[in-house]
A and B are shown apart, each in its own frame.
Chain A
Amino acid sequence: MNRMDHVIEVEGLTKRYDAVLAVDGIDFAAPAGATVGLLGGNGAGKTTTIAMLLGLLLPTSGSIRVLGHDMLRDRFAALARMNFSSPYVSLPHRLTVRENLRVYGHLYNVRHTDQRIAELSAELDLGALLDRPAGQLSAGQKTRVALAKSLINRPELLLLDEPTASLDPDTGDLVRTWLERYRAETGCTILLASHNMAEVERLCSHVLMLKQGRVVDRGSPQDLLDRYGRDDLEEVFLDIARDRRSANAEQSKVPA
C-alpha cells in the first residue's frame, strides 16, 4: 500500500508529562477505509494518542499526518474532514438534540444542515429525541446523539473513544451495526479505542496493542489470535497485559 492510501501516518510519536512518558515513540499508519483498533489497559496511552491525532494535545516529539495534512502545522484543514465521539465529552445539556446538531452543522460548515439532521435522525432513530434537551436523555440515547454529532460532516476519518462504553448489549450492537454500515457505504476510516474485545474483533481490520505508551503488538485480529494461540482477543489482551506470552508469540516478532 503506498503512502497516499494512508489516512493516518504517525511516526515516532511521543508525549512526556514531566517524569511520565505517556506515549513512547509509536509508529503506525491507518489505511483508507480500514477500522483500526487501539487496545490497551487503562493508562496505556490510547486517549493521549487520540488527543494528539485531534490536535487537542501537542506531542513532545514525532509527526502526525492526517488525510495528508501535517497536524502540527495545518490541523484545521484535516479537522474539517474528520470527527470525534467520546462518552466522556458532553454536548450542552440544556440545548435540544436538534439545536446541538445545528451548532455542529455550523461549526463544520455543513450545507443544508437541517436536511442532514433529518437524514441522521432517520438513520439513527432520533426522531423522538430531536426536540428534547440533551441532558434528559439516557446513556444509550446520548451515545446515539453523540454518534450523530460525529457524523454531521460526513467525516472521512472517525475517531471513537470507547463508543459503546456503558451501553446495554442491544444498544451497543445497534451502534456497532451502524458503524459497520457507515464504513461500508462511505469508505470512512475509523480509529477505535475500546476495552470491548468482542467489539474490536467484530469491527477492526487492524489492531494496535498498546502497553505503557508503546505499541507492543499489531496485526489483524486473526493474526493476533494465531500468534498467541488463543480463541479470542480478550485472552490475547490478558497475555499482553500480564506478560504471559505464548510459545507462538515468543517466536514471532512485532511486525513493523
Chain B
Amino acid sequence: MSGSARRVWGLMYRHLALYRRSWPRLLELAYWPVLGMCIWGFTASFLAGRLGAGAAVAVSALLGGVLLWEVCLRSQMGMAISFLEELWSRNLGHVFVSPLRPWELVAALIGMSIIRMLGGVAPAVLLAWLLYAFNLFAMGPVLVLFFMNLMIMGWWVALGVVSLILRHGAGAEPLAWSVLFGLTPFSAVFYPIAVLPASVRPIALALPSAHVFEGMRGVLLDGVIPWSHLLWAFGLNAVWLGLATMLFAWQFHQARVRGALLSIGE
C-alpha cells in the first residue's frame, strides 16, 4: 500500500474500529433510512389501495425518490459527521501534525461516507423490496449514475459544511444534520420541477439532485433514460464540487492563519 493510501486507510480505520465494537452505532446507521422507508412505504400502500392500479407507477416514483434521496442525505451526513467525530474527540491537533495531507483527509471522509451510506441505504432498499415489492434495481444500470450523482452532491455539500465548521467552529455543527433537508423542496424529490413556482425553478435547476429525480421519473414513468438531465447533473456536480473544494482549501488555510486547528473543538 502506498504511503498516501495507508494514511487514508489509517483515518478510515479509526472510524471502522468503532463500528466493529458498537452495535448501537451500526443500528443508528440504518435507523432513519429504514424508518423513513416504513412511513413512506405504508403511505404509498394506502394510496395505491385507494387509487387503484393506476397509482402503482406513482408509488414507484415515491419510493424511488425516498430511497435515492437517502443516498444523498447519508453521503452528506456520513462525511460531515466523520469530520465532527475527529473534532469531538479533540484529535484534530494530532491528525493535522501527522503527514496526512488535506486531500487525504477528504478522501478518508469520502470513504467513510460511502460505507455509512451503504450501511444505511442497503437495509432500506431490502425493506422496500420485502414489504412493498419495490425493486430499486429494476431501473437498470442507469441507477449507478443516479447513485454517483447523488453521492457527489452529498460530498460537496459536506465539504461546504466542513468549511463552515473550520470557519465558525462548533457553532456550525447543526448544519451537518440540517443543511440538506433545506434543499429537499428544491430537489424535486417527489414532484416534477414544473410543479414549483416559476421564481423557484432556477434554484431547482441549479441543483444536480433535481436533474437526477427528473431522470428517475423519466425511467420509472416513461421507461426512457433522460440523458440530458444526467449530463446536467454531472456538469453541475463538477462546478459545485470545484467551488466547495476551493472553499475548503481557503478555510483550511484561514484556520492555519487563525490557529483554529488546535482550538476548533472548544
Contacts and interface: CB of A to CB of B under 8 A. Distances in A.
Chain A bound to chain B: yes
B90 A95 contact: no
B259 interface: yes
A93 interface: yes
Interface residues of A, number: 33
Nearest to A15: B259
B7 A106 contact: yes
A57 interface: yes
Nearest to A76: B99
A89 B91 contact: yes
A102 interface: yes
B89 interface: yes
Nearest to B256: A58
B13 A57 contact: no
Contact of A56 (B3, B7, B89, B259): B259
B94 A89 contact: yes
Interface in B231-266: 253, 256-259, 261-262
Contact of B93 (A56, A94, A99, A102): A56
A56 B98 contact: no
A87 to B, nearest CB: 11
A119 B225 CA distance: 59
A48 B17 CA distance: 33
Contact of A80 (B85, B94, B99, B257): B99
Interface string A51-94: 10011111000000000000000001001100110101111111
Nearest to B17: A99
A28 interface: no
Contacts of B90: 89-90
Contacts of A174: none
B10 interface: yes
B13 A48 contact: no
Given A96-B17, A102-B13, A107-B95, 7 more contacts: A54-B97, A56-B97, A91-B91, A92-B91, A103-B13, A104-B10, A149-B94
Interface of A: 17, 48, 51, 54-58, 76, 79-80, 83-84, 86, 88-96, 99, 102-109, 149
